Amino acid sequence: MNNQPFAASVSVIVPAMNEAENLPHVFATLPKWIDEVILVDGNSTDDTVAVARRLRPDLKVVVQTRRGKGNALIEGFQAARGDILVMIDADGSTDGREIRSFVTTLINGADFAKGSRYAPGGGSDDLSPIRSLGNRFLTAMTNLLYGTRYTDLCYGYNAFWARHLDALDLDCDGFEIETLMNVRAAQAGLVIREVPSHERCRIHGESNLHALRDGWRVLRTILRERARGTAVTTGAQVALAE
């Protein structure tokens, strides 16, 4: 351990495909006390893996067997050995220095620490008006159907105790993985706390996000999970972190 300030080990999962130019910035923001960093490579055609290994010699590399962010995260979670699992993007949009806040929230009693750009202290340099409107609509629908009080459904900066992986039972390949995690965490009655987070713009390259296509996939996930569930979850505890 590197002067680990918490009584729990922490694994950070970084899905990446052709992010060689962004990784120096991303890895520079990761706290030195993190126990394990797992790069899940989506069969990159650039020097993503070589750059990552040069930056962090103790890196664990997982090569994706399928495609999509959801599949990358699932395979990264399976390979992780930490008590706490943190998911962070490889494009520079999420700040590794915020990991301390996520881990602290879990240590203080939460089962699932959910990043929010709309919580007090959070924000975004990247959200377009159409994406923000769609996110708010999907968030409101989720809150109505599942009895949650989320402020930011479609954000991928999250952390949780590894012991809850079975309860989440993740089984999708695409960007809707974040929505699936949020919904199933609520259905499982996990204690959920939102953590303010500031999203930055991608540093290099172009985003793979498509507002309409991915929004439709998120909506289908919300409705499908509600149909397969029973009553609206009343056990979920969701609140903003103080």
Q: Is residue 94 part of a domain?
A: yes
Phi and psi at 196, nearest 5°, equal: -60, 135
Cβ-based neighbours of 214, under 8 Å, separated by 6 or more? 174, 175, 176
Radius of gyration of the chain (CA): 17
Q: Is residue 78 part of a domain?
A: yes
Cβ-based neighbours of 193, under 8 Å, separated by 6 or more? 105, 110, 112, 113, 114, 238, 239, 240, 241
Phi and psi at 56, nearest 5°, equal: -140, 95
Q: Which CATH number characterizes residue 210's domain?
A: 3.90.550.10
Q: Is residue 87 part of a domain?
A: yes
Q: Read off the pLDDT band of 207 (50, 70, 90).
A: low
Q: Is residue 75 part of a domain?
A: yes
User: pLDDT digits over 8-65, tens only?
Assistant: 999 999 999 999 999 999 999 999 999 999 999 999 999 999 999 999 999 999 999 9
Q: Read off the pLDDT band of 91 (50, 70, 90).
A: very high
Question: At 45, which amino acid appears?
Answer: T
Range of the domain at 42: 10-240
pLDDT for the residue numbered 4: 77
Is residue 157 within 8 Å of residue 197, measured between CB atoms? yes
The number of folded domains in the chain is 1
The residues pairing with 191 across neighbouring beta strands, listed in sequence order, are 237
pLDDT for the residue numbered 205: 52
pLDDT for the residue numbered 206: 63
Half-sphere exposure of 17 (CA within 13 A, CB side): 15
pLDDT for the residue numbered 236: 47
> In 3D, which of 167, 159, 153, 168 has the Cα closest to residue 116?
153
Q: Is residue 4 part of a domain?
A: no
Q: Is residue 197 part of a domain?
A: yes
Q: Is residue 58 part of a domain?
A: yes
- According to the 3-state scheme, what is the secondary structure of the chain? CCCCCCCCCEEEEEEECCCCCCHHHHHHCCCCCCCEEEEEECCCCCCHHHHHHHHCCCCEEEECCCCCHHHHHHHHHHHCCCCEEEECCCCCCCCHHHHHHHHHHHHCCCCEEEEECCCCCCEECCCCHHHHHHHHHHHHHHHHHHCCCCCCCCCCCEEEEHHHHHHHCCCCCCCCHHHHHHHHHHHCCCEEEEEECEECCCCCCCCCCCHHHHHHHHHHHHHHHHHHCCCCCCCCEEEECC
Q: Is residue 163 part of a domain?
A: yes
